[in-house]
């Protein structure tokens, strides 16, 4: 398995931006840290992230047992709106966002149900994933997910009173943008 050093700049750049926000002197600030976006399974993003999905396959270097925390863009927007509507309640918080954590076999099962087409998970080695045409940076992030992964406390997010969207509900709502033939 590859070293996590590949991601150092990615994560330090994010940290640097967050630190700039914290130090900027804003009266109020909130940092939202969304997990893996559900929208990555819809077009046009899926054509890049999951190029085999159209043929009914989720091919990744993710282990079949790896739980990927997922969040919808609408849920991120709901948290951003809440931070603007009540800035003092959210001031100074770093909020990790995820609605649920699913394995890719579970994601494939949901997409099969919603689209009415068979979708299977194919867990590949990083070398196999690269050989199947997956972008190297995306494969490296899958290796990171296998070893570290997102760490939102989904249970703690309930305290904010913002309804989170399940992957199943998101897929139903975006069925027309999920292309499986």
Domain of residue 167, CATH code: 3.40.50.720
In the predicted model, what is the mean pLDDT of residues 81-85? 97
Domain span including residue 120: 31-176
Residue 21 included in any domain = no
Residue 94 included in any domain = yes
Residue 19 included in any domain = no
pLDDT, position 13: 87
pLDDT, position 9: 76
Residue 5 included in any domain = no
pTM value surpassing 0.95:
no
pLDDT, position 49: 95
pLDDT, position 11: 74
pLDDT one-digit tens code per residue, 13-44? 888 999 999 999 999 999 999 999 999 999 99
Neighbours of 129 (CB within 10 A): 22
Reported confidence tier of residue 7, pLDDT bands at 50, 70, 90: low
Element (H, E) at 148: none
Residue 102 included in any domain = yes
pLDDT, position 6: 53
Find how far residue 174's CA is from the centre of its chain.
16
Reported confidence tier of residue 173, pLDDT bands at 50, 70, 90: very high
Residue 18 included in any domain = no
SS3 at position 98: coil
pLDDT, position 10: 76
Residue 118 included in any domain = yes
pLDDT one-digit tens code per residue, 101-142? 999 999 999 999 999 999 999 999 999 999 999 999 999 999
Q: Check if the beta carbon of residue 114 is closer than 8 Å to that of residue 168.
A: yes
Domain count, the chain: 1
Residue 181 included in any domain = no
pLDDT, position 55: 97
pLDDT, position 3: 45
Q: Check if the beta carbon of residue 106 is closer than 8 Å to that of residue 69.
A: no
Upstream peptide bond of 143 is cis (omega within 30 degrees of 0): no
117: DSSP letter = S
pLDDT, position 139: 94
């Amino acid at each position: 398995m590859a070293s996590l050093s590949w991601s150092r700049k990615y994560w330090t750049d994010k940290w640097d931006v967050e630190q700039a926000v914290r130090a900027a002197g804003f009266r109020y600030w909130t940092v939202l840290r969304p997990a893996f976006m559900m929208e990555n399974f819809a077009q046009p993003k899926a054509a890049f992230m999951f190029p085999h999905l159209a043929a009914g396959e989720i091919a990744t270097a993710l282990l079949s047992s790896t739980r990927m925390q997922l969040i919808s863009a609408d849920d991120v927007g709901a948290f951003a709106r809440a931070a603007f509507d009540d800035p003092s309640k959210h001031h100074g918080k770093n909020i990790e966002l995820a609605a649920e954590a699913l394995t890719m076999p579970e994601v494939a099962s949901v997409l099969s149900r919603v689209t009415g087409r068979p979708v299977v998970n194919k867990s590949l080695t990083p070398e196999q994933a690269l050989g199947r045409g997956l972008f190297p940076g995306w494969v490296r992030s899958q290796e990171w997910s296998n070893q570290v992964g997102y760490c939102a406390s989904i249970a703690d997010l309930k305290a904010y009173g913002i309804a989170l969207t399940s992957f199943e509900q998101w897929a139903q709502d975006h069925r027309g943008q999920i292309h499986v033939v």
